[in-house]
Amino acid sequence: MLETEFFNRAGPFELARVVEAVGGVVEGAVPAGHMIFGVAPLDSAGPEEVSFLDNKKYLSAFEVSGAGACFVEADLASRAPEGMVAIVCEQPYMALALAMRLFYPGSPPEPLISPAAHVDPGANVPATCRIEAGAVLEAGVRLGERCHVEPGAVLSANVVLGDDCHVGPQASLMCSVVGNRVWIDAGARIGTQGFGFAVGPKGAVRIPHTGRVLIADDVEIGANTTIDRGSVGDTTIGQGTMIDNQVQIAHNVTIGRGCILAGQVGLAGSSEIGDFAMLGGKSGVVNHVKVGAGAKLGALSGAAFDLEPGQTYLGQPAVLIRDFWRQQAAMRRLMKQGKGS
């Protein structure tokens, strides 16, 4: 129960209410009066908690779990132990998400401008915003309603945020225009100058970067991620794109809508990522390379050439996934030959 130190939990709720919230199905009637106080992992959940089985790796933990109820796919429901109500869901992980939102509905920040914040008189901060200690808002900054700027964050001159944005501790933004409901996590660097210079006989000549970073609605940006502004033209990130921690996005990159970028991805200058593309952890895209809409690039892989829409790629340089596994199989055959000879 220690987690209640950090978050306020709603509830308890009748089990039937939880089942309804996630759109699940229970065989027979949902037992009335079964109160659920929260969500817990399979190995620690008790009779008044709901759990989830979203990965067969945890099937044995499921079979002995003390959870009072559990989100589970239809074909595994019969493996539920005595005393557990199996809540059949098409996507147990989505059910988890919906249940967590029931117990932790969130709320807008309590309005405040901390006396220890440094807000320039020329910044425009609606009365519904919360600005914490040590935050710096320079002249010309414009915030939408209900923005929350956490301790030590820095918004440089003229940065624009839409409504309901969150800026984590010590994140910094400059030269950026941000939409609504954007989450920027701790230590993210948005709008820094790009790594752009021309190399001539007298050495490198730096290119002034005078573009911006444009971030659409509903984007998430992870902790210590860096997004450089454009040199000439802008760096743009489309609606609903999710970006994990320590991702590096160079100047003049274009990212479409609904993309998913896992941790430590790197996108070189002027690369283009199509809508709903997925980039695995530590993968990279070379400058000026295009990743097609809906394409997937595996972890630790590198796109040195354009990727076709909807295809899945692996390896460095990245090849179609079936070719990658063929390469691996060929390598294994080759090794056996090597042993034989």
* Two tokens, residue 231: 């040199």
Binding mask 300-339 for a second copy (x = CB under 8 A): x-x-x----------xxx-----x--xxxxxx-xxx-xxx
Residue placing its CB nearer to a second copy in the complex, 39 or 88:
39
Length of the chain equals 341
C-alpha closest to that of 159 among 120, 207, 196: 120
Stated as kind and residue range, the H or E segment containing 261 is strand 260-261
Q: Is residue 134 a contact point for a second copy (CB under 8 A)? A: yes
Distance CA 101, CA 84 (A): 22
CB contact at 8 A, 53 and 31: no
* Residues whose CB is less than 8 angstroms from the CB of residue 53 and which lie 6 or more positions away in sequence, other chains included: 42, 59, 62, 70, 71, 72, 73, 76, 92
Site string for a second copy, 213-232 (x = CB under 8 A): -------x-xxx-x-x--xx
Q: Which stretch binds a second copy (CB under 8 A): 28-36, 62-70, 123-131, 168-176?
A: 168-176
Catalytic option among 148, 209, 251, 288: 251
Of 11-19, 60-68, 122-130, 166-174, the window that binds a second copy (rule: CB under 8 A) is 166-174
Is 209 among the residues known to form the active site?
A: no
- Rule CB under 8 A: choose which of 35, 76, 207, 321 binds a second copy: 207
Residue 96's DSSP bridge partners are none
Nearest to 227 by CA among 164, 181, 273: 273
Distance CA 169, CA 133 (A): 10
Nearer to a second copy, 146 or 189 (CB): 189
Distance of closest approach, residue 29 Cβ to a second copy, in angstroms? 27
- Measured at the CA of 186, the angle between CA 182 and CA 190, to 5 degrees, comes to 60
Question: Binding mask 62-101 vs a second copy (x if CB under 8 A, - otherwise)?
Answer: -----------------------------x-xx-xxx-xx
Other C-beta atoms closer than 10 Å to the C-beta of 104 total: 15
Q: Is 106 in the site for a second copy (CB under 8 A)?
A: yes
Q: How far is the CB of 179 from a second copy (least distance, A)?
A: 15
Number of residues that bind a second copy (CB under 8 A): 115
In the list 68, 109, 144, 168, the residue contacting a second copy (rule: CB under 8 A) is 168
The residues carrying an active-site annotation are 251
